[in-house]
Amino acid sequence: MERQNLEAGWLLGSFWSLLLGALVVSTLKGPQQLLALDLGSENASWEPEEVPGNESSEHTFFSLDYQHVQVPFEITLWIMLASLAKIGFHLYNKLPSVVPESCLLIFVGLIMGGIIYGLNDKSPPVMDSDVFFLYLLPPIVLDAGYFMPSRPFFENIGTILLYAVVGTIVNVVGIGFSLYGICQVKAFHLQDISLLHNLLFGSLIAAVDPVAVLSVFEEIHVNEKLHILVFGESLLNDAVTVVLYKLLRSFCEMSTIKTVDVFAGIGKFFVVAIGGVLVGLIFGMTAAFTTRFTKNIRVIEPLFVFLYSYLSYLTAEMFHLSGIVAIIACAMGMKRYVEANISLKSHTTVKYFMKMWSSVSDTLIFIFLGVSTIGDNHEWNWAYICFTIVFCLLWRALGVLVLTFFVNRLHVNTVTSKDQFIIAYGGLRGAICFSLVFLLPDFPRKKLFIAATTVIILFTVFVQGMTIRPLVELLDVKRKRESAPTVGEQIHMRFLDHLLAGIEDICGHWGQYYWKDKFEYFNSKYLQKFLLREYSQPKSSIVLLYEKLERKHAIELVEAGQLIHTPSHASLLDSRKSAGMVKIVDGLNSDVLENIQKILARNLYKIRRTVPAYNRHTLPGETGTEEQAKEILILRHRSLRLQMNKSDLAHSGKEKDDSYSGHDDSSSKYKLCRSLTVRDPEKEPCVKYNRSKSACIILPLQAACAERVKKEETEKNTPSEMPWFPINDS
């Protein structure tokens, strides 16, 4: 492994240097001048041109036209370099655990910037703010919003909003005034920076950056609540940052500032925030509505998700509303309806593309950050920069402390002191600050601000990013539970929700559960009818989760050829037990019950797995009968697979409808299942309760197999040897 890694490292490194060289060359002016190929004409091309009267019109077999492809070529090269660097990090397993990826990427960017600067003797390309805000930021925020777990988010929304809005304002004002205080000290030569400028600087440096937070917190796996708090805050404080920054910038240009302007600013905040949410929701609902009609063109379904989200972002930016809030609202709003409407493949595509784009953006941002650091747009002033760092940390800690104090008074679910430390320490600044500082109007001290911002970002990402993991371990923060919620837990949580809503209704007092229930009611009555394609079978999250689990089980089974006791199997015996033999079961002791189960198991040996109902959940200690059943199933499975492959080739290119709801097939499946059961006479009395519709509906895989099975049956006519996937049981 080590040797492989080393070899891969060398290969990668050499390839990477080559590409870097190409990039450096391309950034130099007029690459064509460097090349010795003189082709006798400006626009060299492949075809030999007929130039009348020109003796030296040679046939050009090899020519170079770089201008033609320059822009896309450079972009691709950058992305390629960034991604190769990323591969490089992960070759050495220990590295990402010690140094977060963002640090490494900035480091790589620094190197590249240094090389370009050294060769070019001028500043390397600085990341254009437009490029950042319009192209690089939206994918990351969309990814964050789409995969945000909505339940903990809304449970903690009060706290998140408090931190985001009040916390940011406190930070801005605090940092601004403190720095102004520092500027008054004569020794630092900073008197020309006015209060307004300090406040402006404070507004752009105070905001916690979602990109940086995401990349660091991903690796430390704190518990869900903490993650949601910091992350939600970093996303939502964009609204405040946008308003404050724009407000203060416009103040800079105005000669006098009246109180009315301040109030206008506060009003603007509400407009920005609520407007952003509205825009996002409108686009989200439209997206959900559009996907209702995409049944026949499954291929472009993922496109709608991305198009609508991006449109919402751009529209919000157009109206100077908060684009980040809009895109989050869009993603969260459309998620549940779109997922129900689009096919499974489209769903997977959406998820993967989102992850891919956000990963690319993330990488590019950090590399550019590193590259842009090198250059001569910095002015250094020790005092200002050091105090900025100090005040950032200080005010963040203060803000978190005070706000948490209030939060803990109002809520029962307290934020512990360890959590508080992590929230305060996890307030990383990132590329948003950087872009905002470049957007500042030109004034004498701008370069100082740029330098300060750069230092802050580097400090938070490197120092705080690297030390947060050991600190988390040191403080023993409650780590995230690795397992996803089980079916049982979902049931319980749902039960609790309804219970609390009911109790609140009885008490006659409103609470958070009231709103949740009201929304669910509104949803099921109106929204679902409008936005879901197949309203005929709305699925609750429990059912979806259950289907997902069953599908996962089925896939594992198919791949491993092993028997897994699926839940549906449990109902088989018990339904028979309870429905058919109620009298006997009542008042039975366990021995008799076991006997009955054994008898049943033996009788059903040939058609299904023999283990009685919910006695086990895995396969240890297989009995002889089980082995045989297993073998039969494996053989069957193999032959079915071959058949399926053959028939797949026979099918034309039309994509199979394999969405969660397989309604079209359901009726045929019902008949299918029943016919299979009916056919076997010896199972007749026992079998009546066996065919449960649910198992038939859920798995298209099983439908395909079952169809093949049916065909086989008609061919072979061996009812006793019925191939029976455990999945089919119920």
Partner 1 sequence: MLIMVDSKYSNIVLGYNDELIWKHLKHLCLQTVTSEQIEHLHRRFKQLSGDQPTIRKEHFDNIPDLEFNPIRSKIVHAFFDKRNLRQESDGLADEINFEDFLTIMSYFRPIEMNMNEEQLDHFRKEKLKFLFHMYDSDHDGKITLQEYRNVVEELLSGNPHLEKESARSIADGAMMEAASICVGQMEPDQVYEGITFEDFLKMWQGIDIETKMHVRFLNMETIAQCH
| Min CB(339)–partner 1 separation in Å | 16
For residue 300, the 8-state DSSP code is G
- Residue 563 in tokens: 């028997």
Q: How many residues does the chain have?
A: 730
d(CA 198, CA 53): 69
Inter-residue contact 476 to 223 (CB < 8 Å): no
d(CA 697, CA 709): 16
Residue 576 burial (CB count, 10 A): 21
- Residue 15 in tokens: 């390839």
Residue ranges in 185-322 assigned as alpha helix (H): 195-205, 210-220, 224-253, 259-291, 301-318
657 binds partner 1 (CB under 8 A): no
DSSP string, 647-658: HHHHS-SPPP--
CB of 57 or CB of 528, closer to partner 1: 528
Buried/exposed code over 664-686 (b: 16+ C-beta within 10 A; e: otherwise): ebbeebeebbeebbeeeeebeeb
Residue type for 353, please?
A: F
| Min CB(603)–partner 1 separation in Å | 16
CB of 142 or CB of 672, closer to partner 1: 672
Which of 34, 71, 187, 507 lies at the binding interface for partner 1 (CB under 8 A)?
507
Residues 157-186 that bind partner 1 (CB under 8 A): none
Q: CA torsion sign, 111 to 114 to 119 to 120? A: positive
CB of 162 or CB of 196, closer to partner 1: 162
3-class secondary-structure state, position 107: helix
- Residue 154 in tokens: 């809304």
Residues 454-493 that bind partner 1 (CB under 8 A): 481, 486-489, 491-493
Inter-residue contact 330 to 320 (CB < 8 Å): no
Stretch that binds partner 1, among 3-11, 331-339, 503-511, 649-657 (CB under 8 A): 503-511
- CB-facing half-sphere around the CA of 446: CA atoms within 13 A: 12
Residues 410-449 that bind partner 1 (CB under 8 A): 412-413
CB of 166 or CB of 619, closer to partner 1: 619
Inter-residue contact 609 to 729 (CB < 8 Å): yes
502 binds partner 1 (CB under 8 A): yes
409 binds partner 1 (CB under 8 A): yes
d(CA 444, CA 449): 10
| Min CB(730)–partner 1 separation in Å | 6
Inter-residue contact 594 to 683 (CB < 8 Å): no
Stretch that binds partner 1, among 60-68, 177-185, 377-385, 409-417 (CB under 8 A): 409-417
Stretch that binds partner 1, among 304-312, 358-366, 594-602, 652-660 (CB under 8 A): 594-602
54 binds partner 1 (CB under 8 A): no
Burial of 14 (0-12, 13-18, 19+ CB in 10 A): exposed
| Distances in whole angstroms, Cα of residue 265 to Cα of each of 199, 241, 257, 261, 269 | 14, 12, 12, 6, 6
| Min CB(162)–partner 1 separation in Å | 17
CB of 258 or CB of 509, closer to partner 1: 509
Inter-residue contact 343 to 658 (CB < 8 Å): yes
- Residue 440 in tokens: 């500042």
730 binds partner 1 (CB under 8 A): yes
What are the residues facing 374 on neighbouring strands? none
**What Rg do the C-alpha atoms of the chain give, in angstroms?**
32
d(CA 518, CA 505): 11
CB of 251 or CB of 514, closer to partner 1: 514
Count of residues in contact with partner 1, rule CB under 8 A: 74
599 binds partner 1 (CB under 8 A): no
Stretch that binds partner 1, among 31-39, 52-60, 435-443, 592-600 (CB under 8 A): 592-600
CB of 556 or CB of 594, closer to partner 1: 594
3-class secondary-structure state, position 479: strand
Which of 570, 676, 709, 722 lies at the binding interface for partner 1 (CB under 8 A)?
570
505 binds partner 1 (CB under 8 A): yes
| Min CB(504)–partner 1 separation in Å | 6
| Min CB(538)–partner 1 separation in Å | 5
71 binds partner 1 (CB under 8 A): no
| Min CB(519)–partner 1 separation in Å | 12
Of 32, 24, 17, nearest to 121 (Cα)? 24
| Min CB(602)–partner 1 separation in Å | 13
Residues 508-567 that bind partner 1 (CB under 8 A): 508-512, 514, 517, 520-521, 524, 536-540, 542-543, 546, 549, 565-567
CB of 306 or CB of 670, closer to partner 1: 670
| Min CB(482)–partner 1 separation in Å | 11
| Min CB(546)–partner 1 separation in Å | 5
Which of 37, 91, 254, 499 lies at the binding interface for partner 1 (CB under 8 A)?
499
CB of 74 or CB of 547, closer to partner 1: 547
Inter-residue contact 572 to 682 (CB < 8 Å): no
Q: How far is CA 626 from the centre of its chain?
A: 42
Which of 65, 574, 657, 713 lies at the binding interface for partner 1 (CB under 8 A)?
574
Of 117, 116, 647, 659, nearest to 347 (Cα)? 659
| Min CB(611)–partner 1 separation in Å | 7
| Min CB(548)–partner 1 separation in Å | 12
| Min CB(493)–partner 1 separation in Å | 7
CB of 119 or CB of 487, closer to partner 1: 487
CB of 452 or CB of 501, closer to partner 1: 501
d(CA 618, CA 262): 66
| Min CB(666)–partner 1 separation in Å | 10
CB of 150 or CB of 413, closer to partner 1: 413
Residues sharing a CB contact under 8 Å with residue 651, sequence separation 6 or more, in sequence order: none
663 binds partner 1 (CB under 8 A): no
Stretch that binds partner 1, among 56-64, 324-332, 430-438, 586-594 (CB under 8 A): 586-594
d(CA 227, CA 291): 32
Residue type for 296, please?
A: N
Residues sharing a CB contact under 8 Å with residue 509, sequence separation 6 or more, in sequence order: none
CB of 430 or CB of 612, closer to partner 1: 612
Inter-residue contact 282 to 334 (CB < 8 Å): no
| Min CB(89)–partner 1 separation in Å | 34
Which of 116, 208, 226, 695 lies at the binding interface for partner 1 (CB under 8 A)?
695
Stretch that binds partner 1, among 183-191, 376-384, 689-697, 713-721 (CB under 8 A): 689-697
String marking each residue 601-640 x if it binds partner 1 according to CB under 8 A: ----------xxxxxxxx-xx-x-----------------
| Min CB(510)–partner 1 separation in Å | 8
What are the residues facing 479 on neighbouring strands? 222
